[in-house]
C-alpha cells in the first residue's frame, strides 16, 4: 500500500502562490481588476467611471494604471505632475476629489515617451505599483489591467490578490471568443468575475432620443447568460464623455450609465465580499 504523503508547495493539492504582499503602510479592502480581451474597448474609461462613482459615495478610492504601454488614467484626470518618491516608497498623485492614482506616466520624464519594454519588465513595474506605492487606507483599489490575455495580465492576475474582475467589451467583440478568453483566464486563476460592462453599445439621436445600435443589436445578454454572468451596465458612445476625457476633466461626468454597477460594487464592502450578491 502506498503511503499518502503531505503535498508540498507546488503540488496540485497546494498550488504555489505567487501573490505579492502590499507594503505595511497600506490597508486596502477590495481590489477590483477591470479587464478587456483586447485594447481600445474603453477599459480605462470604465475603470475611471467606477472609481469616480465609488468616490462620490464617500469611499477612499484608488486607481492603479497597470496598462504600462498605453497609460491613459492621469490624462483623464488632468494630472501631469511627477509622482514623489521617498525612502518609504512611491506616493500616488491625488485627483481633485482625492482619488489616489499611480501610473507609469507619473514616473516618466516625458509623458509621451513610449515604453518599449519587454513583458517581464512591464509585469515587474505593475507589481511594484502594488508593493511599493503607499496607497494608505483604501476602501477600493481599481486596477486598469493591461489589455488582452498575455503574460503581463497573467502576472498581474497571479501577483495581486484581486477580489474580482469586471470584463469590458464592445458590441462587435462579443460575437468573438475574446470575452470568453478573459472569462476563462479569471476562472483558471479562481478570481470571481463580477460581471460584464458593454461600452459603445449605442448612440442616442440628439433630436428624438432614439437609441441607434451602430453595430446592430449585440448579443450581450445571451453571452452573459451562457457564461452565467451579470450584465453590470451598457454605456453609449457619448461625445460629452469624450470631451471631458480630452480636457482632463473626467471627474465632472454626469450620467447614470454605471450607477447600478457602482451600487453592486459598494455592496461588496457592505456585505463583505458576498460575491453571490452579484448574481
Ligand X SMILES: Nc1ncnc2c1ncn2[C@@H]1O[C@H](COP(=O)(O)OP(=O)(O)OP(=O)(O)O)[C@@H](O)[C@H]1O
Give residues in contact with ligand X (CB under 6 A).
Answer: 36, 39-45, 67, 70, 72, 147, 199-200, 235, 237-238, 241-242, 245
Block residue for cell numbers 498550488: 15
Closer to ligand X by CB, 70 or 124: give it.
70
Block residue for cell numbers 478568453: 181
* Residue 216 among known ligand-binding residues: no
Closer to ligand X by CB, 67 or 139: give it.
67
Closer to ligand X by CB, 22 or 36: give it.
36
* Residue 193 among known ligand-binding residues: no
What is the smallest separation between the CB atom of 20 and ligand X, expressed in angstroms?
A: 23
* Residue 164 among known ligand-binding residues: no
| CA 204 vs CA 38, 209, 215, 221: distances in Å | 25, 5, 14, 20
What is the smallest separation between the CB atom of 2 and ligand X, expressed in angstroms?
A: 51
* Residue 119 among known ligand-binding residues: no
Alpha helices in the chain (DSSP H): 43-56, 73-76, 119-131, 151-159, 171-174, 178-188, 220-226, 239-247, 259-270
Whether residue 33 contacts residue 144, with contact meaning beta carbons closer than 8 Å, is answered with no
Q: Which helix (H) or strand (E) holds 90?
A: strand 89-90
What is the smallest separation between the CB atom of 78 and ligand X, expressed in angstroms?
A: 13
Whether residue 85 contacts residue 74, with contact meaning beta carbons closer than 8 Å, is answered with no
What is the smallest separation between the CB atom of 87 and ligand X, expressed in angstroms?
A: 32
Closer to ligand X by CB, 147 or 164: give it.
147
Between CA 50 and CA 265 the distance in angstroms is: 9
Binding residues: 37-44
Binding residues for ATP: 37-44
Amino acid at each position: 500500500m502506498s503511503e499518502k504523503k503531505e503535498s508540498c508547495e507546488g503540488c496540485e493539492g497546494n498550488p504555489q502562490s505567487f501573490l505579492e504582499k502590499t507594503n505595511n503602510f497600506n490597508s486596502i479592502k477590495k481590489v477590483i481588476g477591470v479587464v478587456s480581451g483586447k485594447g481600445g474597448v474603453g477599459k480605462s474609461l470604465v475603470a475611471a467611471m467606477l472609481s469616480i462613482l465609488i468616490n462620490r459615495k464617500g469611499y477612499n478610492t484608488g486607481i492603479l494604471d497597470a496598462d504600462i504601454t498605453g497609460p491613459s488614467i492621469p490624462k483623464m484626470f488632468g494630472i501631469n505632475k511627477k509622482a514623489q518618491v521617498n525612502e518609504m516608497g512611491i506616493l500616488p498623485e491625488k485627483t481633485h476629489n482625492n482619488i489616489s492614482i499611480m501610473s507609469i506616466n507619473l514616473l516618466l520624464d516625458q509623458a509621451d515617451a513610449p515604453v518599449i519594454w519587454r513583458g517581464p519588465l512591464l509585469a515587474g513595474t505593475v507589481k511594484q505599483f502594488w508593493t511599493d506605492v503607499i496607497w494608505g487606507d483604501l476602501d477600493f483599489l481599481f486596477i486598469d489591467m493591461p489589455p488582452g490575455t498575455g503574460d503581463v495580465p497573467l502576472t498581474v492576475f497571479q501577483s495581486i490578490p484581486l477580489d474580482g474582475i469586471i470584463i469590458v467589451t464592445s458590441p462587435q467583440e462579443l460575437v468573438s471568443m475574446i470575452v470568453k478568453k478573459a472569462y476563462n483566464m479569471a476562472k483558471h486563476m479562481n478570481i470571481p468575475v463580477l460581471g460584464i460592462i458593454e461600452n459603445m453599445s449605442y448612440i442616442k439621436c440628439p433630436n428624438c432620443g432614439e437609441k441607434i445600435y451602430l453595430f446592430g443589436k449585440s448579443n450581450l445578454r445571451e453571452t452573459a447568460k451562457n457564461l452565467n454572468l451579470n450584465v453590470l451596465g451598457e454605456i453609449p458612445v457619448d461625445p460629452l464623455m469624450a470631451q471631458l476625457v480630452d480636457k482632463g476633466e473626467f471627474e465632472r461626468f454626469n450620467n447614470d450609465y454605471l450607477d447600478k454597477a457602482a451600487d453592486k460594487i459598494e455592496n461588496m464592502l457592505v456585505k463583505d465580499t458576498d460575491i453571490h450578491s452579484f448574481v
